[in-house]
Amino acid sequence: MRGANRACAERSVPSRGRSGADLREARSSPSLVVAAFGVFAIFAPLLTGCGAGDAPGVAGGPVAMRRLTESQYRAAIADVFGPEIEIAGRFEPDGRRDGLIAVSSAFVTVTPSGFEQYEGMAREVARQAVSEPLRDRWISCQPSDPAAKDDGCSEALLRRIGPRLLRRPLEAADIAPRVAAAGRAATELSDFHAGVELIVSSLLVAPDFLFRIEALEDDAPPGEPLRLTGASLASRLSYLIWNAGPDDALLARVAADELSDPEALAQEVDRMLASPRFEAGVRALFDDLFQFDAFDELGKDPIRYPMYSAKVAADAREQTLRTVVDHLVEQDGDYRALFTTRRTFMTRTLGPVYALPVRTETGWEAVELPASGPRAGLLGHASFNMLNAHPGRSSPTLRGLFLRESLLCQSVPPAPADVDFGLFNADDDPKLRTARDRLEVHATHATCRNCHKLTDPIGLGLEQFDGLGRARTAENGAPIDPSGDLDGRVFEDAASLGEALAESPLVPACLVENAYRYAVGRVATLDERPLLRHLERRFEAEGHRIAPLMRAIALSPAFQTATPASGEGQERS
């Protein structure tokens, strides 16, 4: 055991990816780094292993206070009041940090106009939720007089929905004021359900609904890591695995204080991974990782890309997510094979972009992309190619940047502030017919070359797809050369670039890193690096399947504990 621990601890933190400088700025003061090392030193003797077996017992980094994303908000309403409820309103932008909305969500706040929207949405949801017949779904008691208040019934229904919305057991302070206010409203308007509306609205504008606030237990023995409270751990689990709040069964575990029991925890994780809702969790992870929120603002030049429509874009996004979920969850497949598989899904809306026949008139059908065609794996999907492109043409640079940052976890420095755009008269030059010709300036100019050598050569591998993702063999009459090399691995075209990615050890390691960021809402701390190494090995040992990876993250000690950052004044009650 000791030897394994030492090997694990001694493994150097590789220079690839981000290190201490990437820690959340707000918490990356020198004192935090010192504190983090300090904790690591304390817990080092407790490490229990780092092979494909147990996770190293490092403590997790700081906790987070994350604002619900739009999809999480929607899921919460649908879970509690039913999918019929229409949520209409404008959500504040989620932002993106360290590649993920999940990380940004721990930084964003609520503006006055954003709060107005939340308040309006809350009232509208409440109005629908108490209307016939939707109220029967969740209001189990009958008021003694529907035109008067009924504190007993109000309290009963508050106790039913409160824990689901606030993701924790209710306290007395949550109940009495709401029941009293509901009573006043019911009396004033001679309508019991007006009071119920008030209760619902008050939950939906509450800070502990709109934010997932993580809290720590205060009873850790000296020298032990601080554990997340049962409710906070339950939220972490359910948002990681389902991208939704805890269900009743999980909340029952919280109420019974059972999640601190490793066996009970493992049972819960396995139950959640086996649930149909796991698909939604995986879908949300990849929607975030692939930056698909950008579809909401995507637009294309209608003259250059007349096939583009909002529906085409929506279906392209869905196609990729459906392929990911089918491969990773339904088929329990190897993550790497996503970059080579020709199995995907198609609609009649999307068919023209792929120039493929679609038998199904409405909805989706599974298809096998033609083996003789240029498309294989996710990189051949229209989604990436239309997203990582300009409104009027493709962009090898944007595509390469996406591959480097999101799939390989490599950082590409931003363009220098004094970049000389005068070097680009390329679009007007009839001699420069292909993107490769036009990007030559990147390769020959020293200031450009340093960064563009990272992006352009691999991005050019996707030039077989235009700015909408339609296949092509020529640009402006000149044949396209899609060959290149990925850090020494030669590829001939987009399909073989996919094979190169499938072979790269960086690709699964990057997913591990992103999944962990996604799980805890921040980049891994230096302390947590050995855990990432461990997770990589586990991922590999278990065939690069997503469910075992999620399980390993959820059951790792770092996921369940946190380091109070010094100077942050974590108050303990």
Partner 1 sequence: MASTKIGSFPHGAFIRLLPIVPCVPIVLCVALGCERDAAPEAAAQSAEAPALRGYVMARWHDEIPHEDPGECPDGLNTTEVEYFPEQWKAYMAERQRVREAEGRFIRWDHPLLPPDACQDPLAQPDPGYLTLDGPAKVAGLDLDGIASTSRGQGEGEGDVEAGANACAHDDFTSPTGEPGIDNQAWRLMGCVRGYRPNDLMDRLHQANTMIKEGGYAILMEISGMDDPRDDDAVEVQLLSAAAPVTLDAVGEPMEQVSFTAHADPTYHSAWARGRIEGGILTTDPVDLRLKIKQQTQDNAVYLRDARIRAEVDADGRIEGIVGGYWDSENFWSMMNDHTIGGTPQGRNAAFNRGFMCAGLHHAIPRVADGHPDPETGRCTSISTALHFEARPAFVIRPQLAAVDRAGE
Partner 2 sequence: MTHRITRRRLLERSLRGVVAGAGLSVGLPYLEIFLNANGDALAATGAPLPRRFGTWFYGCGMNPHRWNPSEEGAGFALTPELMPIEKVRPHVSVLSGFSVLLAGETNHVHRTGVIGTLTGGAPTTTTENDGPTVDVLISDAIGGTTRFRSLEMAAHGLPKDSFSRRSESAINPAEPTALSLYLRVFGPGFTDPNAGEFTPDPRVLLRKSVLSLVAEDRARVEKQLGQADRARLDEYFTALRQLERQLELQLSAPPPLEACRVPEQPGEIPISQDVDHVVRNHEAMARVLALALACDQTRVFNVVFSAGASGLHTAGSPDTHHTLTHEEAKDPALGYQPKATQFVMRSMEAWASFVEILASVREGDGTLLDQTVVLCHSETSDANSHSVSGLPIMLAGTAGGRIRNGIHVRGAGETTARVGLTLQQVMGLPVAKWGFKANETSRPISEILV
Is 302 an interacting residue with respect to partner 2 (CB under 8 A)? yes
> Which one of partner 2, partner 1, none is in contact with 264 (Cβ closer than 5 to 8 A by kind)?
none
Near partner 1 by CB under 8 A: residue from 110, 148, 307, 426: 307
Binding-site member from 2, 21, 88, 219 for partner 2 (CB under 8 A) = 88
Quickly count: other Cβ atoms within 10 Å of residue 121's Cβ. 21
- List binders of partner 1 among 358-377 (CB under 8 A): 358-366, 370, 372-373
Binding partner 1 (rule: CB under 8 A), the pick from 97, 212, 253, 300 is 300
Strand partners of residue 367: 344
Rounded Cα gap, residues 125 and 259, in angstroms:
32
Residue ranges in 310-349 that form contacts with partner 1 under rule CB under 8 A: 322, 345, 348
Largest CA distance in the chain: 83
Quick one: residue 565, left, alpha or beta (phi over 0 = left, psi -120 to 50 = alpha)? beta
**160: how many CB neighbours lie within 10 A of its CB?**
15
DSSP letter, residue 430: T
Residues 122-141 that bind partner 2 (CB under 8 A): 122-124
Closest distance of CB 328 from partner 1, Å? 16
Per-residue interface string for the shown chain with partner 2, residues 33-62, x marking contact by CB under 8 A: -----------------------------x
User: Would you state the structure tokens that stand for residue 96, as one six-digit string?
Assistant: 């993106």
> Residue 530 CB, nearest distance to partner 2 (Å)?
25
Smallest gap from Cβ 490 to partner 1, in A, equals 24
The answer to whether residue 168 forms part of the interface with partner 2 (CB under 8 A) is no
> Which tokens go with 451?
């960064």
What minimum distance in Å lies between the beta carbon of 245 and partner 2? 17
Rank residues 12 and 362 by Cβ distance to partner 1 and give the closer one: 362
Q: How far is the CB of 303 from partner 1 (least distance, A)?
A: 7
The string of DSSP letters for 168-206 reads S---HHHHHHHHHHHHHHHHHHT-HHHHHHHHHHHHHT-
**In whole angstroms, what is the distance from residue 563 CA to residue 32 CA?**
10
What's the closest the beta carbon of residue 295 comes to partner 1, in angstroms? 16
Which residue in 101, 161, 198, 325 binds partner 2 (CB under 8 A)? Answer: 198
Q: How far is the CB of 345 from partner 1 (least distance, A)?
A: 5
Cβ atoms < 10 Å from Cβ of 317: 23
**Residue number with CB closer to partner 2 (25 or 420):** 25
Q: What are phi and psi of 489, to 5 degrees?
A: -90, 115
Contact status: 111 vs partner 2 (CB under 8 A)? yes
Q: Under rule CB under 8 A, which residues in 206-235 are in contact with partner 2?
A: 206-208, 210-211, 213, 215
Q: How far apart are CA 317 and CA 223, in angstroms?
A: 48
| Gap between the Cα atoms of 385 and 374, Å rounded | 13
- Under the binding rule (CB under 8 A), the answer on residue 461 touching partner 2 is no
Q: Which is nearer to partner 1, 51 or 306 (CB)?
A: 306
Question: Which residue, 268, 260, 252, is CA-closest to 169?
Answer: 252
List the single partner that 426 binds among partner 1, partner 2, none, CB under 5 to 8 Å by kind: none
Residue from 20, 49, 120, 351 touching partner 1 (CB under 8 A): that is 351
**301 touches partner 2 by CB under 8 A:** no
Instruction: Please tell me what DSSP assigns to residue 442.
Output: H
Of 269, 278, 273, give the one whose Cα is nearest residue 250. 269
- What's the burial of 109, exposed, middle or buried (CB within 10 Å: 0-12/13-18/19+)? exposed
Site for partner 2 in 503-532 (CB under 8 A): none
Which residue in 14, 41, 52, 188 binds partner 2 (CB under 8 A)?
Answer: 188
Residue 3, contacted partner among partner 1, partner 2, none, CB below 5-8 A by kind: none
Q: Is 393 in the site for partner 1 (CB under 8 A)?
A: no
16-40 per-residue burial string, b: 16 or more CB within 10 A, e: under 16: ebbebebbbeebbeeebbebbeebb
- Taking the complex as a whole, the smallest distance from the CB of residue 301 to partner 1 amounts, in Å, to 9
- Stretch (H or E) spanning 478: strand 478-479
Which residue, 175 or 412, is less far from partner 2 as judged by CB? 175
Check residue 114 for interaction with partner 2 (CB under 8 A).
yes
Nearest to 543 by CA among 339, 333, 281: 333
Of 389, 555, 534, residue with least CA distance to 467: 389
Q: Number of residues in contact with partner 1, rule: CB under 8 A?
A: 29
Residues 421-440, one symbol each (x = binds partner 1 by CB under 8 A, - = not), give --------------------
Residues listed for the chain: 573
| Beta bridge pairs of residue 365 | 346
Nearest distance in Å: CB 373, partner 1: 6
Q: Which is nearer to partner 2, 88 or 371 (CB)?
A: 88
Rg (the chain; Cα; Å): 26
Contact 455, 408 (CB under 8 A): no
How far apart are alpha carbons 325 and 332 in whole angstroms? 9
Check whether the bond before 548 is cis (ω within 30° of 0).
Answer: no
Using CA atoms, how far apart are residues 152 and 136, in angstroms rounded to an integer? 17
Q: In this chain, which stretch among 11-19, 196-204, 260-268, 377-385 interacts with partner 2, using CB under 8 A?
A: 196-204
| Binding residue for partner 2, selected from 31, 48, 113, 450, defined by CB under 8 A | 113
Q: Nearest distance from residue 470's CB to partner 1, in Å?
A: 9
Distances (CA, A) of 182 to 168, 175, 481: 21, 11, 69
Q: Does 391 bind partner 2 (CB under 8 A)?
A: no
Q: CA 49, CA 6: separation in Å to the nearest integer?
A: 9
Decide if residue 119 touches partner 2 (CB under 8 A).
Answer: yes
What is the smallest separation between the CB atom of 322 and partner 1, expressed in angstroms?
7
- Residues engaged in binding partner 2 (CB under 8 A): 26-27, 62, 65, 86-89, 107-116, 119-124, 171, 173-174, 177-178, 181, 184-185, 187-189, 194, 197-198, 201-202, 205-208, 210-211, 213, 215, 302, 310, 564-565, 567-571, 573
- Residues engaged in binding partner 1 (CB under 8 A): 300, 302-303, 305-309, 322, 345, 348, 351-353, 355-366, 370, 372-373
